[in-house]
Structure 1
Amino acid sequence: MLAQLIPKAIKDYLKEKLGVPDMFSSFKNMKKLGFAPRFILDIGAYEGNWSKEINKIFPSADILMIEGQTEKEPILESVCKSVPQFAYQIALLGATQQEVIFNKYETASSVLSENNITNAEIETRKLTTLDTIMAQKPIEGSVLLKIDTQGYELEILKGAVQLLQKADVVLLEVSLLNIYINSPLVDEVMVFMKEKGFYLYDICSMIRRPLDGALYQSDFIFVTKNFLNRSSTKWIV
């Protein structure tokens, strides 16, 4: 009850001062250090809320929202009308172009099935790759790539070989528990990203399982080896 009475601005200020993991505080800090993406990709955009928040931090960046649920198109279209540099595309992404079963379950929608029984709506869809989409959209300048696709993040990255060569920062939702069947866990994600030349820079959220309080998911920020002053050995200014 008390938490509901505290204004959001004060909550955000306290989180930042106390070092509480918070995604947007992390990006604000990166901005202070000089990170200024020219292009942002929001994969798993849902209704565009993340894009609207990141736009407040990087207002000059062009943002492309990609969402797999066709039902979200009217909402994303409305979001784009309100912000000139926003664009959207309805597409389901993966490692290759193929036909798959898509489990539609609002924010929990995924190509992967859950280990638990759900009332997800099942439909057959065609996958495309991120590289295929971006081949038609020339990119210049610094790139921020965000992927939140309920366990399917690495498959999407496998289809983004060319894009990863242009990206400076990658934000991934990472799992520590196997809620989705065959979803990669944090150790596999770390190995994959290092092989692609990206290193863990920040851990900026924590989601715990209601069953037992076990850490279930987190948002990891990965950066290239020489990103800003990451390689500095200094502790203080």
Structure 2
Amino acid sequence: MSFDLFALRARKLSYALRVPLFRRALRTGVLAGVEHAYALGHLAPELVIDVGANRGQFALLARHLWPTARIVSLEPLPGPNATCRTVMAADERFELFEAAVSTEAGNSIINVTSEDDSSSLLPLGEEHQRLYGSSLASTLTIRTDRLCAFVAPDECPASCLLKIDTQGFELEVLKGSEELLPRVQHIYAELSFVELYRGQPLASEVISYLHAVGYQLAGVFNVAYDGADRPVQADMLFSRVEKE
């Protein structure tokens, strides 16, 4: 990759060391997702729904940015889920589920990668292996359900942020969240411009879907490039368009 991962991690660590909450998390080996602060710091959600929580990196940032917000996180892998629970243990306005969001309730097989934050309900693609050196380590049966099984639509306040980081499964998560979308003000998702997982919808398809259900693209952040300066993926912020 053409961006300097070491420099990025160094900047994140420098930021984290200045925040007591983040310093405590570092003792468990978790570095808060401070790279998202610039994109989201101007928002003021009362509810943050964190789909694909991993070890709590985003939940930590959310608590720092929005001290009184309710945070609901979902992470299907038992190991990262347990770490996330430990990191956020003292937070009374935090709730964590060991599950993934999909279009229907049931069980699914997740592909667990060598670096587990690349694990996906989709098969690992050749481009991901080439760019990131990822490999399949194992498979695991996990619980899946629609988002409304974890957050009821009438529990969503006027200001709600839905964050999605699900390794190519973003469109299925959105389709499994349709009961809540009319109440979600902002969506923040990591989307890909190239196929990193086999069969994944690319950014253009997800953007088109969100446009059709009432959202507009509000910003593109943290763009990652390959060695030929080709954009590979980015974090994108979407805002609901208010009807006149």
Provide TM-score, normalisation by structure 1. 0.80
| Residue from 165, 181, 193 that aligns with 1:164 | 181
Q: How many equivalent pairs are there?
A: 210
Cα shift readout 1:121-147 (whole Å, capped 9, x = no counterpart): 112334211122223982334100000
2:222 aligned counterpart, secondary structure:
coil
Aligned to 1:138: 155
Q: Which residue of 2 aligns with 1:147?
A: 164
Matched, 1:50 2:78: no
> Is the partner of 1:41 in helix, strand or coil?
strand
How far apart are 1:201 and its partner, in Å?
0.3
List structure 1 runs of 4+ shifted beyond 4 angstroms: 1-7
Question: Contact 2:111–2:136 at 8 Å: present in 1 too?
Answer: no
How much has 1:202 moved relative to structure 2?
0.7
**Distance in 1 between the 2:12 and 2:53 partners?**
28
Identity value in percent? 25
Any idea what SS the aligned residue of 1:178 has?
Answer: coil
Kept in 1, the 8 Å contact 2:39–2:221? The answer is yes
Residues 188, 237 of structure 2: 8 Å contact kept = yes
Highest Rg: 1 or 2? 1
CA distance in 2, matches of 1:8, 1:66: 28
The CA RMSD measured in Å over matched residues stands at 2.6
Query: Within the alignment, does 1:8 sit opposite 2:14 as a pair?
Result: yes
Give the Cα–Cα distance (whole angstroms) in 1 for the partners of residues 55 and 94 of structure 2: 13
| 1:107-118 matches, cutoff 5 A | 107-116=117-126, 118=135
Q: Which residue in the other structure is 2:29 paired with?
A: none
Partner in structure 1 of residue 108 of structure 2: 100
The letter of the residue matching 1:39 is: L
Partner of 1:217: 233
In the alignment, which of 189, 207, 212 is matched to residue 206 of structure 2?
189
Partner Cα separation in structure 1 for residue 117 and residue 12 of structure 2: 27
- 1:129 and 2:146 correspond: yes
Query: What's the CA shift string for 1:56-87, capped at 9, x where partnerless?
Result: 11111111111010122321221232322111
CA deviations 1:166-215 (Å, max 9, x no partner) are 10000011100001011011110111001110100011111123x53421
Checking the alignment, whether the CA contact within 8 Å between 1:174 and 1:218 is kept in structure 2 is: yes
- SS at 1:123's partner residue? strand
Moved more, 50-59 or 181-190: 50-59
Give the deviation of 1:120 after TM superposition. Answer: 2.8
